[in-house]
């Protein structure tokens, strides 16, 4: 079998990389009211999962480190720094009530 045919078969049969999608929306409980986080919408505009999941998605939910590991910023502080910082640059909501909703 010619080398070019073998290469073509390897490329053709290789698994196609896909982007992990995660849930469409994530409900984040907070003292000021639940944040209904549109995960799917953010995936469409954020260039890389590592932008938010800086330790990798496989490490689990944010609170596994941010609420449980000494030295890690609290989840509230991490979200406000990353989310609000990005929203300030992209005209997203920056007022508390723009994300937090009492139920």
**pLDDT tens digit sequence for 67-82:** 888 888 888 898 899 8
Cβ atoms of residues 73 and 81 within 8 Å = yes
For the chain, list the domains and their CATH numbers: 20-92 (3.90.10.10)
pLDDT at 1 (0 to 100):
53
Q: What pTM does this model have?
A: 0.67
pLDDT at 56 (0 to 100):
83
pLDDT at 8 (0 to 100):
43
Q: Which of 12, 16, 22, 94 is nearest to 56 (CA)?
A: 22
Residue 11 clears pLDDT 90, i.e. is over it: no
Ranking 15-24, 43-52, 70-79 by mean pLDDT, the lowest is 15-24
């Amino acid at each position: 079998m010619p080398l070019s045919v073998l290469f073509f078969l390897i490329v053709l049969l290789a698994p196609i990389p896909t982007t992990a999608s995660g849930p469409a929306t994530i409900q984040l409980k907070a003292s000021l009211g639940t944040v209904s986080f549109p995960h799917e919408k953010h995936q469409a505009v954020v260039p890389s999962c590592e932008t938010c999941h800086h330790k990798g998605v496989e490490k689990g939910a944010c609170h596994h480190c941010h609420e449980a590991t000494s030295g890690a910023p609290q989840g509230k502080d991490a979200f406000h720094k990353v989310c609000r910082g990005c929203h300030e640059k992209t005209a997203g909501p920056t007022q508390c009530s723009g994300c937090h909703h009492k139920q």
